[in-house]
């Protein structure tokens, strides 16, 4: 499986000539002309993880693509059918086996409501937690997309999360809110934790790819 990191929290996965898009949001450059997309996974309703414009850029080119997300995403999306998914579900879509975990977004602040959030394990190889530190119990994670910067995290928490998951490989995501210096610090700290657990860290910039 080939993973392409886009800006901020968006990923494009490729398997056997087919694609899966995860969280094409408002901090990601426009996703244009992407073909052979079987599915789009939206982990939660916040605009940095999906926008109507980004979603239509994908589904207008890929009319048969299945859009999956929690119930709040289905209520927010207009003009596109969303298949509602919840933690504990497994869904088969084209070349993709998707297992969903978690349930809630991490706490941003006590005054801000907590929204639904699903993490997703893709083809038993990539775990993407959305905006959470949910550890998938009983799963040996091959590759982890690790949140690196957000209003809801401290870098120490992200380090603890990576250490708990102990993936074979990892790279940073959710980093569009960081400066270049901030991304460098996050990469250094998360790399150290990953390597301490015997894994390999990839410091991916937007447009970079890794094969897993």
Assess if residue 69 is contained within a domain.
yes
The 3-class secondary structure across 3-51, one letter per residue, is EEECCCCCEEEEECCEEEEECCCCCCCCCCCCCCEEEEECCCCCCCCCC
| Cα distance between residue 60 and residue 99, in whole Å | 26
- Secondary structure letter of residue 199 according to DSSP: -
Assess if residue 147 is contained within a domain.
yes
| Cα distance between residue 76 and residue 160, in whole Å | 33
At 56 the pLDDT is 97
Mean pLDDT computed over 39-43: 98
Mean pLDDT computed over 57-76: 97
Q: How large a percentage of the chain has pLDDT more than 70?
A: 100
Structural domains in the chain (count): 1
Mean pLDDT computed over 162-188: 98
Domain hosting residue 43, numbered range: 2-204
pLDDT class of 199 with cuts at 50, 70, 90: very high
At 177 the pLDDT is 96
Mean predicted lDDT score pLDDT of the chain: 97
pLDDT tens per residue, range 70-96: 999 999 999 999 999 999 999 999 999
CATH code for the domain of 172: 3.60.15.10
pLDDT class of 36 with cuts at 50, 70, 90: very high
At 107 the pLDDT is 97
Assess if residue 211 is contained within a domain.
no
Q: Can you spell out the DSSP letters for the chain?
A: -EEEE-STT-EEEEETTEEEEE---TTS----S--SEEEEE--SS-TTT--HHHHHHHHTT-TTPEEEE-HHHHHH--SS-EEE--TT-EEEETTEEEEEEEEEPPPS-TTS---EEEEEEETTTEEE-SSS----TT---SEEEEE---TT--HHHHHHHHHHH--SEEEEES-TTS-HHHHHHHHHHHHHHHHHTT-EEE-PPTT-EEE-
**Distance of alpha carbon 74 from its chain centroid, rounded?**
18
Mean pLDDT computed over 59-75: 97
Assess if residue 188 is contained within a domain.
yes
Assess if residue 209 is contained within a domain.
no
Assess if residue 212 is contained within a domain.
no
Mean pLDDT computed over 7-31: 97
Assess if residue 189 is contained within a domain.
yes
Assess if residue 150 is contained within a domain.
yes
| Cα distance between residue 72 and residue 116, in whole Å | 7
């Amino acid at each position: 499986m080939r993973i392409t990191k886009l800006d901020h929290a968006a990923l494009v996965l490729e398997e056997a000539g087919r694609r899966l898009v995860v969280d094409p949001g408002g901090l990601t450059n426009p996703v244009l002309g992407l073909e052979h997309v079987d599915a789009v996974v939206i982990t939660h309703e916040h605009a940095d993880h999906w926008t109507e414009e980004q979603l239509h850029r994908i589904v207008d080119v890929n009319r048969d693509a299945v859009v999956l997300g929690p119930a709040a995403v289905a209520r927010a999306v207009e003009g596109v059918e969303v298949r509602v998914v919840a933690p504990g579900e497994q869904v088969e879509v084209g070349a993709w086996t998707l297992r969903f975990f978690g349930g809630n977004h991490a706490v941003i602040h006590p005054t801000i409501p907590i929204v639904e959030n699903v993490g997703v394990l893709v083809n038993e190889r990539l775990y993407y937690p959305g905006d959470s530190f949910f550890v998938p119990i009983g799963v040996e994670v091959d590759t982890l997309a690790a949140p690196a910067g957000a209003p809801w995290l401290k870098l120490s928490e992200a380090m603890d999360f990576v250490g708990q998951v102990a993936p074979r490989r990892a790279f940073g995501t959710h980093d569009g809110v960081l400066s270049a210096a901030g991304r460098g610090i996050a990469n250094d700290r998360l790399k150290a934790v990953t390597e301490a657990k015997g894994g390999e860290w990839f410091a991916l910039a937007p447009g970079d790819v890794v094969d897993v």
